Structure 1
C-alpha cells in the first residue's frame, strides 16, 4: 500500500500480489492494512444502490462465481484458470464468501482488495452468510478474532450490511444470491429501493433475495431451510418476463457439477466451492458471459489441496449444538 497523511492508503497492484502470497503462505497482513481495506471498501459499497446495473461492452466478457465459503486455495485456482480480476477481466462474486471454510479472512480480504483496485470491474453480492447470526455460528467470527481481533468483527458487520443485494447485467441477466420473492409483482425498482443497511430480516424482498431456492414444483412452497421460500418455474418465468429479463443467476446451493440449469433454461445456479467442506465431492463452476450475446458459458473445476486446517475449525460448537 502507498500512503500519505491526507488520503490514507491507496491499494496498488503490487500490494495485492504480495498480500495474496502472504495468505498462500498462511500468514496474515498487518492489522493497519486490514482495517484500511475494510474501511475503504465499506465507503465504496455504501455509495452503491441495492441493485447495481452493470454494462458489459459487446467485445468484452464477464465472469460470475458462486459461493466460495472460505476456500481460499480454490479461489486462487479460479484466478489461475480464468485470470485475475482486472479492467479487461471483470468478475462478480455472488455472496457467501465466508463461513465454513477456514480461510474466510483470506477470501474476503482478497475480494475486497480487488474491489478497491478495480471498483468498476469487481463486484460482490451479499449472501445469507454475510450476516451476524451466521458468522457467529459457522466460523467467520471466530476466525477473525483468532487472526485479527474483535473490533475487526464489528467492522465486517458494518461492511456486510453495505453489500448490494443484486446486479443486473446488460439489462438482461439478474444475479442475486438466493432467489425470487414471496409475492408477485416485485420489480427491479423494488429491489433498488430496498433498505439493505441492516441485518437480514425474516421476510420480505431482502430475505428472499438472500435465502430463496428454486423448486421443481410450481408456485411457491415452504423452504426446507425454514427461512425464505421455494419457487417454481412459473414464478421465475413471470418475474423475468414482467421485468424484461432473459435469465436469473443465483448461487446458495451445492451442485454436483458446480452448476445447474433449471426452470426451462431461465435459471442458473452456480456454486464455486469444490469438494465443499472437504466432504461433498462436488465440482465448482463459474459462468462467463460475452457482452455481444449474453449466452452463459460454464467452466467446471475440481478442488485443489489446501493446508491442513479443517473446515469449521473456528466454528462455535456450542451455538451449533443449540
Structure 2
C-alpha cells in the first residue's frame, strides 16, 4: 500500500481466527500481522542509505512474515490518519533499558509493561500517561526497575482450563 493504512480501513477488517504471525493468509490476517508484529527499523540501520529508499523492509528476526517500518512508512500512516504520534507495544528488547523507547523524532513511542518477561527476564517496564484536553501530552514513564522484576515472576502467566468434551473454556486462573 503506497499510502499508510487508514484507521477506517483497519477498523473494517474483521478479526482473523488466528493472530499468530504467518506469511500466508487472508488480507485481514496480513493486516493484523502488520499491526501486531511490525517493528521500527533498528536505529543502526536507519543511517545506511540502502534503508532510506522504502517504507518497509522484511524483518527476518520475526521469521520474515513481518516488516520493519521506516520513518517514511510511519509518516505515511500518520499523514493518512491526521495523527502526530503512534503509541505501540510488543517489543521487549527495544524497550528494555527504560520500559519505553521514543523513535523517529518522537513520532513513535514503544512501551513494554510486562515485568519479568516470560518469567526469566529482568527488565524495566513502562507506562504511558496521557494528559490534557485540547493540548494533549503523551508522557512515558518507567513503572518498575529491572531489580524489582523478580517479585513479579509469574505475574503475567495464566492458566486456561478447557472442557475436553465441549471445548469450552471453564476457568482462567492467574
Scaled by the length of structure 1, what TM-score is found? 0.37
Match of 1:225 in 2: 62
For residues 30-63 of structure 1, give each alpha carbon's deviation from its aligned partner in whole angstroms, at most 9, with x where no partner exists.
xxxxxxxxxxxxxxxxxxxxxxxxxxxxxxxxxx
CA contact (8 A) 1:259 1:269 kept: yes
Is the aligned partner of 1:271 residue 2:90?
no
For residues 208-265 of structure 1, give each alpha carbon's deviation from its aligned partner in whole angstroms, at most 9, with x where no partner exists.
1111111143431111101221101111112101210011011111112100000121
Superposed CA RMSD in Å reads 2.6
Change (3 A) 1:305 1:198: same
Q: How many Å separate the matches in 2 of 1:294 and 1:199?
A: 35
Q: Which runs of structure 2 are paired with 1:8-27 in the superposition (5 Å)?
A: none
CA contact (8 A) 2:100 2:141 kept: no
Match of 2:31 in 1: 205
The size of the alignment, in residue pairs, is 131
Change (3 A) 1:270 1:310: closer
Q: How many Å separate the matches in 1 of 2:131 and 2:84?
A: 14
Q: Which runs of 5+ in 1 are unaligned?
A: 1-182, 315-322
Match of 2:2 in 1: 184
Q: How many Å separate the matches in 1 of 2:152 and 2:105?
A: 37
Q: Which runs of 5+ in 2 are unaligned?
A: 23-28, 47-51, 160-174
CA contact (8 A) 2:100 2:126 kept: yes
Structure with the largest fraction of strand: 2
Secondary structure of 2:77's counterpart equals helix
